[in-house]
Amino acid sequence: MNFFKSLMPRSLTSRILAMLSILIVVFLTTGLGLFYKNQMLQHIEEIQDSANMLIEVAAQAVEESVIIGDYDTIKRTLEKTLSRSPFKSAMFIDLSGGVIRLQAPKAPAGRAPAWIESEVAARLFDVNRPITIGGKDYGVMRLSFNAEKIAAELCTLVVQATVLAVLFLLTSLLLMGFMIKRSLAHLDKLHSYEAEIASGAVAAEAMLVADAPVEIQEAIKAVNRTAASMRNHFGQRIESLMNTLVQHKNALDEVSIVCEFSPSGRITYVNERFVSSAQRSRAELLALTIDEVWNGMYCATQPWQWTPEREVWNGEVRLSGRAGTDKWHQRTIIPILDDRGGVEKYICIDIDITDRIEFEVAILDNSRRQNLIALFGQQALTEENVRALGQLAALTAAQGLKMSKAALSVVDQVSHGVILSAEIGLTHDDIRRSYASQVSSRMGASTELAIISDGADDTYKLLTDDTVETHGIRSTLEVDISCRDVFKGVLGVYATTDYVFTREDVSYIQTLANLLAAALERDDAKKKLTHLAENDSLTTLPNRWFLNNYLHAAISRTASAPSAISVIFIDLDRFKTVNDTMGHSVGDELLIQASRRLEEYIDENSMVARLGGDEFSIVVTHPVYSASFIKSLAAHVVDAMEKPFNLRGQDIFVSASVGIANYPFDGDDAGVILKNADTAMYHAKKSGRNNFKFYNAEMNESAVKRLQTETLLRGALERDEFILHFQPKVSLADGSISGLEALLRWNHPSLGLVSPADFIPMLEETGLIIPVGEWVIRKVCETLKSWEDSHIRLVPIAINLSARQLQVKGLANIVKHILEEYGINPTLLEFELTESVLMIEPESAVEILRDIKSYGIGLSVDDFGTGYSSLAYLKRFPIDILKIDRMFIKDIMSNHEDEAITRAVIVLAHELDLKVIAEGVETFEQLELLVKHGCDQIQGYLFSRPVPRDECAAMIKSSRTLDIKFAEPDVA
Amino acid sequence: MTLRLTCKAFIIALSFGLSNVASAEDVKVYNFSPVNQYNLNLSASFWNPIIRYVSDKSGVNLTLKLGRTSSDTTSYVLAQEVDFAFTNHLFSPERDKMGWKVFGRRDAPPLEGQIVVPADSPIHSLAELEGQEVVYPGPEAFIAYKVTSAELVKKGINTSTVFAGNMDGAFSQLISGKAQAMGVNSQLVSGYTEREGKSFRVLWNSSLFNDLALMASPRVSQKELTAVADAFFNMQYDSEGSKILHDATELVHAPEPIKFIPATEADYASYRDFYNSAPANHK
């Protein structure tokens, strides 16, 4: 490609001529080629046609000659045919093969190229003509073409035509070249136009020549238009640029402090802002170097001095001016280079960033203070030691304001004494310790005030005048430490210079003071909560939680200082009765009085706590254990509680059961010691109350056994381990069985038959008595039903009702449903209740018992005479039978009083229309006496101990009777 | 010694002579000249593959010697330059004496000589040709010239005779109007109509003549003649030969597939009959 480009002529004239030459040559060659070919074909065709005519003419002459055998004439005819003909040869061939052949003479002309000759020869064919006369053949006449000669003639023709064409072509090109060159010569006008422009004649225009071709005229016009447009366009641009430059310069002067100085540093130009910023006159500045304008220049914290450089310098500098105030400039120094690359001058552009820097410093200060506040806030939330917190507050105050002195003072809300003070850069003695009363209004009615207002503006000063003077303090900032308008103290910071505290400074110190106030408030609240958590609000004695901690701490101390610890567990006897009968407020009063009595036995080695309810405990720490001391203390406690308590004008008697356990003898853990003391107290209570017991290991074993039994008891009902025994009641009228008392028995697979005294109270305590009681009712009904079905005589069966059962709402309904379920006559059922059961909630008991009674079920009072023996309830309750307790029957023969009581009861019952049953009858003498006193029925081992159901059924079935016939008394 | 040398010379001469004879027989080539029924290029394209095939199959060396006109073909025969010809110019009583034998022909229906004018010509009868120019392929054209012009002579219709040289030339002169009528054989009329899309009106039909005959000169041995004849006749049964025939048929737009079948003198008796009754100047 590059090769062809290199062949391309450089001038436009040459290029146009070359292009035209190529075009003409191509078209001329193609045209001539086609023309020559057509000419040749046409020429050959004409020759061939001519030959056909020629041979016909010649054939006629030959035919005439051949008939007569005139071969000479034939030969001459052939000769004539050949002359001036395109034939190479002419021949006559007779049928025998004889040939007359004549050759044309050689042509003098030159020969055509071989390819033309072969082309011609291929298109020319010999011309044959049979010589036939009257159907008889004499031979053949044949003419052969001279292809060389024809080709030579054609070639000559082509050469001549080609020469002519070439001449024509050359002439045309010369003419065209001349014309093109002449036309393009007009473009030279543009050269002179260019020269004019180059010489500075920017308004010049290229000259138009009238006879120039239209295209060139248009081109020159376009150049002129373009030049005019560019002149206009660039003129506007340059003007705009100049305006912009001026505006930028003005703008720069408005906001920037600009000067120019030589490479030696000498100032050569300053703008107005530079003059005013430097606080020097323009003339004065132009005589200085850049380093001499300000008293000192600093880059960050290092002194800064300008040094000649070839690079742009950029940075922030602090300038100390004449007036002593510092300013911050954002400085850019730009070297301006000359044509040789040397520094021609420097332009210094400063922007005053003093406000920004100060703002940044303020932000940083604020951020630092916020961090300090945050750190202090964290400490205020977590630090338990308020003294350390106060010290930290003073330190944080001093650090936040970058001052060397700070102090604070906090006063007690009640005593108004200084309870906390802290100081930084000062001594403890520098802070006021005594104050006058000018701030009494701030502190309430108290006259013992901690902080004084020294001035009329009610400003409180922590420091004495002497301190201020001694330390050279010139600026003070003090703020109140208060929370919810409660004044707690003062926090202050102090400067030894004249310092104007800003609003931010005050806010910072006040925030610290507020945080400290909140922390103090939290500390107070914590102390109050601790007090509440550790003390009983009723008696103000320490509570169980405090006692536990105290005990743990005391035990821990024994590791370093071996000692013994005694825990005295005190439980008031009959407190519940007082509470139930006289009301809770009276009970509370009793507890308070008991607390005061117990406190009288407390010294520095002991403490007393209320554990809850009517339980108290005294913990005594002995350097050396003294059993006698503890015994004495316990006895004093028992005695103190035995004395009457005057409650609401009444003397109320209660007592105390006291248990004692000692560390480390009775346990090595606070919980164990307390539990063992409780166990000992339980035994004291079991052994008759109003006494004290020392713990021993056996007590615990019984307690453990009790716990095991209780655990087993809980599953006994599901395991069907309960059974019923029945003890007959005997009518003293005829000695027959008049009724039965159902008695619950627990037959455990491994423990065997457990005593009712061991498990019945447990059922009561655990509440299991309710489901077990219902089971008993069902079982009794089932027994009655079974006996009825077996045609055994039915007698009423009595069931013991406990106090817990009587508290169950709907007991009457439950009983009714069970009776209906089994279809039992209600009169066959009796419920036995003790006096105490009836007295617990008499109102509800009356209602329930009346419902039960209304069904026809009998009611009896068990153990009559051992409790209240209130005659009133005999009237209130729908009772049918009184059962005289066995303790009266037991000694009825020997104790006159028992006999009298028994007799009185029988008489009383009969008078009230009640039946009487004597329990525990074991001898005939007892029986005889009871019969004598008119008792209705007896129950006891005399007739039968409690027996299993089947045995009892057999007894009834056999109609066993008691012989009650005695010898007739001696009746006078 | 002399005798011995003489013998040696004789033996050498004889051996040369024998070897020459043998080599002459080995390279013996027969020219085959068909009458040019189309134009030179078309005729060459038609005959060259056939002659090459026959030469290969028969073992007889044949070359195509094509003349521009029927006169050329007849001249080649008269000058004894060809030994095989595809022609119908050799049935005159005089030429019978040359001893050429018919051995085959194209399997085509017999032809008729026809005098035709263009379909749009105002001429509708032979009588209207009086004084008009009638073009013929050439004076040697038997059916196209001799048969048709003899009829005009018999009818006493005087026309101006024009020879175009070959059949296509004659058709060109008729179509261009240079001549008003044309003597032609019916096969060529239908072929031309098929090929060029021109239609003609037939003014006169002759009796039937079989088309050109495959003929051999008496110089051809019987064995060679049989070999060549078999090669022609079996072309249609050979894949290569049938393809050549098929291409030839397509080339000249022949109405029926071209194939060669055996023929005898009897197939061309009608020609001899014509010569017996033809005017003297048409024999």
Q: What are phi and psi of A481, to 5 degrees?
A: -100, 105
Does a structural domain hold residue A912? Answer: yes
Q: Report the candidate in B220, B216, B262 with the shortest Cα–Cα distance to residue B90.
A: B216
Residue A343 gets the label, from left (phi > 0), alpha (psi -120 to 50) or beta, of beta
Task: Measure the CA–CA gap between A909 and A899, rounded to whole angstroms.
Answer: 15
Q: What pLDDT digit, counting tens, does each position of B226-246 carry?
A: 999 999 999 999 899 999 999
Residues β-bridged to residue A571: A615, A657
User: Quick check: A93 and B78 CB within 8 A?
Assistant: yes
Q: How many of the other CB atoms lie within 10 Å of CB of A933?
A: 17
Asked if B97 is an interface residue toward chain A (Cβ–Cβ < 8 A), one would say: no
- Structure letter (DSSP) for residue A491: E
Amino acid letter, residue A342: G
Does a structural domain hold residue A573? Answer: yes
Does a structural domain hold residue B166? Answer: yes
Give me the pLDDT at residue B4, please: 45
Single residue among A152, A167, A182 that ends a domain in this structure: A167
Q: Are residues A589 and A683 in the same domain?
A: yes
Give me the pLDDT at residue B22, please: 42
Q: Are residues B68 and B182 in the same domain?
A: no
The shortest CB-CB distance from A140 to any of B78, B92, B95 is to: B78
User: Quick check: A129 and B75 CB within 8 A?
Assistant: yes
Asked if B87 is an interface residue toward chain A (Cβ–Cβ < 8 A), one would say: no
Q: Are residues A501 and A558 in the same domain?
A: no
Q: Are residues A515 and A560 in the same domain?
A: no
The residue behind tokens 């051995």 is B103
Q: How far is B157 from chain A (nearest CA, A)?
A: 21
Residue A845 pLDDT grade (very low, low, confident, very high; cuts 50, 70, 90): confident
Q: What pLDDT digit, counting tens, does each position of A218-264 carry?
A: 888 888 888 888 888 888 899 999 999 999 888 888 889 999 999 99
Does a structural domain hold residue A700? Answer: no
Does a structural domain hold residue B223? Answer: yes
Q: Are residues B77 and B115 in the same domain?
A: no
Q: What pLDDT digit, counting tens, does each position of B214-230 carry?
A: 999 999 999 999 999 99
Q: Report the candidate in A890, A870, A892 with the shortest Cα–Cα distance to residue A882.
A: A870
Does a structural domain hold residue B19? Answer: no
Task: Measure the CA–CA gap between A565 and A662, rounded to whole angstroms.
Answer: 6
CATH assignment of the domain containing A635:
3.30.70.270
Q: Report the candidate in A424, A428, A406 with the shortest Cα–Cα distance to residue A481.
A: A406
Does a structural domain hold residue B17? Answer: no
User: Quick check: B75 and A125 CB within 8 A?
Assistant: no
Give me the pLDDT at residue A109, please: 60
User: Quick check: A128 and B71 CB within 8 A?
Assistant: yes
pLDDT at A968 over 90: no
Q: Looking at residues B185-195, what average pLDDT do you find?
A: 86
* DSSP codes joined into one string, chain B: -HHHHHHHHHHHHHHHHHHHHHHHHHT-EEEEEE---S-HHHHHHHHHHHHHHHHHHH--EEEE---SSHHHHHHHHHTT--SEEEES-S-SHHHHTT--EEEEEES-PPEEEEEEEETT-S--SGGGGTT-EEEES-TT-IIIIIIHHHHHHHHT---EEEE-SSHHHHHHHHHHTSSSEEEEEHHHHHHHHHHH---EEEEEEEEEE---EEEE-TTS-HHHHHHHHHHHHTGGGSHHHHHHHHHHHHHHT-SS---EEE--GGGGHHHHHHHHHS-GGG-
User: Quick check: A135 and B69 CB within 8 A?
Assistant: no
Q: What angle do CA B85, B70, B214 make, to 5 degrees?
A: 20
Q: How far is B91 from chain A (nearest CA, A)?
A: 11
The residue behind tokens 């074991």 is A922
Does a structural domain hold residue B218? Answer: yes
Identify which has the larger pLDDT, A437 or A124: A124
Q: Are residues A806 and A931 in the same domain?
A: yes
Residue A107 pLDDT grade (very low, low, confident, very high; cuts 50, 70, 90): low
- Structure letter (DSSP) for residue A535: B
Q: Are residues B151 and B103 in the same domain?
A: no
Q: Are residues A526 and A567 in the same domain?
A: no
CATH assignment of the domain containing A293:
3.30.450.20
Task: Measure the CA–CA gap between A767 and A805, rounded to whole angstroms.
Answer: 9
The shortest CB-CB distance from B68 to any of A125, A134, A140 is to: A125
Give me the pLDDT at residue A827, please: 92
The shortest CB-CB distance from B75 to any of A97, A130, A134 is to: A130
pLDDT at B10 over 70: no
User: Quick check: A97 and B80 CB within 8 A?
Assistant: yes
The shortest CB-CB distance from B94 to any of A128, A137, A139 is to: A137
**Cβ contacts of B69 on chain A, cutoff 8 Å:** 128
pLDDT at A444 over 50: no
The shortest CB-CB distance from B71 to any of A129, A135, A136 is to: A129
Single residue among A122, A152, A167 that ends a domain in this structure: A167
Which domain does B90 fall in, by range? 29-108+211-277
User: Quick check: A140 and B75 CB within 8 A?
Assistant: yes
Q: Are residues A306 and A406 in the same domain?
A: no
Give me the pLDDT at residue B283, please: 62
Average pLDDT, chain B: 85
Residues 6+ apart with CB under 8 A from B98: B77, B90, B217, B218
Task: Measure the CA–CA gap between B119 and A354, rounded to whole angstroms.
Answer: 119
Q: Are residues A805 and A901 in the same domain?
A: yes
Task: Measure the CA–CA gap between A531 and A523, rounded to whole angstroms.
Answer: 12
The answer to whether B31 and B72 have CB atoms below 8 angstroms apart is no
In A842-968, beta strands by DSSP E: 858-864, 881-884, 915-919, 937-939, 947-948
Q: Are residues B116 and B168 in the same domain?
A: yes
Question: In 3-state terms, what secondary structure has residue A262?
Answer: coil
Does a structural domain hold residue A346? Answer: yes
- In total, how many domains does chain A have? 5
Task: Measure the CA–CA gap between A227 and A202, rounded to whole angstroms.
Answer: 9
Q: How far is B153 from chain A (nearest CA, A)?
A: 16
User: Quick check: A129 and B68 CB within 8 A?
Assistant: no
| Chain B: residue whose CA lies nearest to A128 | B72
Does a structural domain hold residue B64? Answer: yes
The shortest CB-CB distance from A142 to any of B40, B75, B140 is to: B75
Single residue among A119, A142, A167 that ends a domain in this structure: A167
How does strand A829-834 pair with strand A797-800? parallel
- In total, how many domains does chain B have? 2
| Chain A: residue whose CA lies nearest to B93 | A135
**Cβ contacts of A95 on chain B, cutoff 8 Å:** 78, 80
Q: How far is B90 from chain A (nearest CA, A)?
A: 11
Q: How many of the other CB atoms lie within 10 Å of CB of A174?
A: 11
pLDDT at A874 over 80: no
Q: Looking at residues A282-306, what average pLDDT do you find?
A: 84
Give me the pLDDT at residue A867, please: 62
Cα-Cα-Cα-Cα torsion A281, A283, A287, A288, nearest 10 degrees, comes to 20
Q: What percent of chain B has pLDDT over 90?
A: 51
A-B CB pairs within 8 A amount to 48
| Chain A: residue whose CA lies nearest to B81 | A97
The shortest CB-CB distance from B165 to any of A52, A135, A139 is to: A52
The shortest CB-CB distance from B93 to any of A132, A135, A139 is to: A135
Task: Measure the CA–CA gap between A619 and A548, rounded to whole angstroms.
Answer: 10
What kind and span of H or E run contains A326?
strand A326-337
Q: How far is B93 from chain A (nearest CA, A)?
A: 8
Q: What pLDDT digit, counting tens, does each position of A687-712 carry?
A: 878 899 999 888 877 777 877 888 88
Task: Measure the CA–CA gap between A851 and A854, rounded to whole angstroms.
Answer: 5
Give me the pLDDT at residue B37, please: 79
Q: What angle do CA A902, A908, A914 make, to 5 degrees?
A: 105
Does a structural domain hold residue B2? Answer: no
Q: Are residues A37 and A154 in the same domain?
A: yes
Q: Are residues B121 and B246 in the same domain?
A: no
Q: Are residues B247 and B190 in the same domain?
A: no
Q: What angle do CA A890, A891, A892 make, to 5 degrees?
A: 100
Q: How far is A83 from chain B (nearest CA, A)?
A: 23
What kind and span of H or E run contains A64?
helix A12-68
Give me the pLDDT at residue A133, please: 83
How does strand A692-694 pair with strand A655-663? parallel
Terminal Cα distance for chain A, rounded:
178
Asked if B201 is an interface residue toward chain A (Cβ–Cβ < 8 A), one would say: no
Long-range contacts of A919-925 (CB under 8 A, 24+ apart): A919/A863, A919/A883, A919/A884, A919/A885, A919/A886, A919/A889, A920/A885, A920/A886, A920/A887, A920/A889, A920/A890, A921/A889, A923/A893, A924/A966, A925/A893
Q: What angle do CA B118, B122, B125 make, to 5 degrees?
A: 85
Q: Looking at residues A141-160, what average pLDDT do you find?
A: 86
The answer to whether A905 and A864 have CB atoms below 8 angstroms apart is yes
Q: How far is A92 from chain B (nearest CA, A)?
A: 9
Terminal Cα distance for chain B, rounded:
67
Give me the pLDDT at residue A868, please: 62
Q: Report the candidate in A956, A914, A959, A965 with the shortest Cα–Cα distance to residue A935.
A: A914
What kind and span of H or E run contains A17?
helix A12-68
Q: Are residues B227 and B95 in the same domain?
A: yes
Q: Are residues B89 and B129 in the same domain?
A: no
Asked if B145 is an interface residue toward chain A (Cβ–Cβ < 8 A), one would say: no
Q: Are residues A512 and A619 in the same domain?
A: no
- Structure letter (DSSP) for residue A280: S
Write down the ipTM of this complex. 0.76
Residue A375 pLDDT grade (very low, low, confident, very high; cuts 50, 70, 90): very high
Task: Measure the CA–CA gap between A724 and A744, rounded to whole angstroms.
Answer: 5
pLDDT at A439 over 60: no
Pair of tokens at residue A764: 């009561």
The answer to whether B115 and B148 have CB atoms below 8 angstroms apart is yes
Single residue among B209, B232, B252 that ends a domain in this structure: B209
User: Quick check: A137 and B68 CB within 8 A?
Assistant: no
What kind and span of H or E run contains A190?
helix A188-198
**Cβ contacts of B93 on chain A, cutoff 8 Å:** 135
Task: Measure the CA–CA gap between A702 and A618, rounded to whole angstroms.
Answer: 25
Which domain does A861 fall in, by range? 725-958
Q: Are residues A395 and A523 in the same domain?
A: yes
pLDDT at A91 over 80: yes
Does a structural domain hold residue B40? Answer: yes
Give me the pLDDT at residue A319, please: 86
Task: Measure the CA–CA gap between A272 and A16, rounded to whole angstroms.
Answer: 69
Using only C-alpha atoms, chain A has a radius of gyration, in whole angstroms, of 74
User: Quick check: B281 and A134 CB within 8 A?
Assistant: yes
CATH assignment of the domain containing A909:
3.20.20.450
Q: Are residues A520 and A630 in the same domain?
A: no
CATH assignment of the domain containing A396:
3.30.450.40
Interface test with B, best of A60, A132, A138 (most B CBs within 10 A): A132
Does a structural domain hold residue A7? Answer: no
CATH assignment of the domain containing B159:
3.40.190.10
Give me the pLDDT at residue A484, please: 81
Q: Are residues B216 and B253 in the same domain?
A: yes
pLDDT at B114 over 70: yes
Pair of tokens at residue B231: 């090669």
**Cβ contacts of B40 on chain A, cutoff 8 Å:** 125
| Chain A: residue whose CA lies nearest to B276 | A135
Q: Report the candidate in A458, A12, A29, A490 with the shortest Cα–Cα distance to residue A213.
A: A12
Q: Are residues A734 and A815 in the same domain?
A: yes
pLDDT at B6 over 50: no
Single residue among B151, B180, B209 that ends a domain in this structure: B209
Q: What pLDDT digit, counting tens, does each position of B14-39 carry?
A: 444 444 444 444 568 999 999 887 88
pLDDT at A187 over 80: no
Q: How many of the other CB atoms lie within 10 Å of CB of A279?
A: 13
Q: How far is B280 from chain A (nearest CA, A)?
A: 6
Q: Report the candidate in A757, A953, A914 with the shortest Cα–Cα distance to residue A830.
A: A914
pLDDT at A392 over 90: yes
Residue A969 pLDDT grade (very low, low, confident, very high; cuts 50, 70, 90): very low
Task: Measure the CA–CA gap between B231 and B217, rounded to whole angstroms.
Answer: 17
User: Quick check: A130 and B165 CB within 8 A?
Assistant: no
Pair of tokens at residue A415: 């005593």
User: Quick check: B72 and A52 CB within 8 A?
Assistant: no
Q: Are residues B129 and B187 in the same domain?
A: yes
Single residue among B186, B209, B232 that ends a domain in this structure: B209
Q: What pLDDT digit, counting tens, does each position of A832-844 carry?
A: 988 777 776 777 7
Q: Report the candidate in A302, A278, A276 with the shortest Cα–Cα distance to residue A290.
A: A278
Give me the pLDDT at residue A437, please: 38
Q: In what order do the strands lie in the sheet with B84-87?
A: B61-64, B29-34, B84-87, B213-216, B101-106, B260-262
Asked if B31 is an interface residue toward chain A (Cβ–Cβ < 8 A), one would say: no
Question: In 3-state terms, what secondary structure has residue A203?
Answer: coil
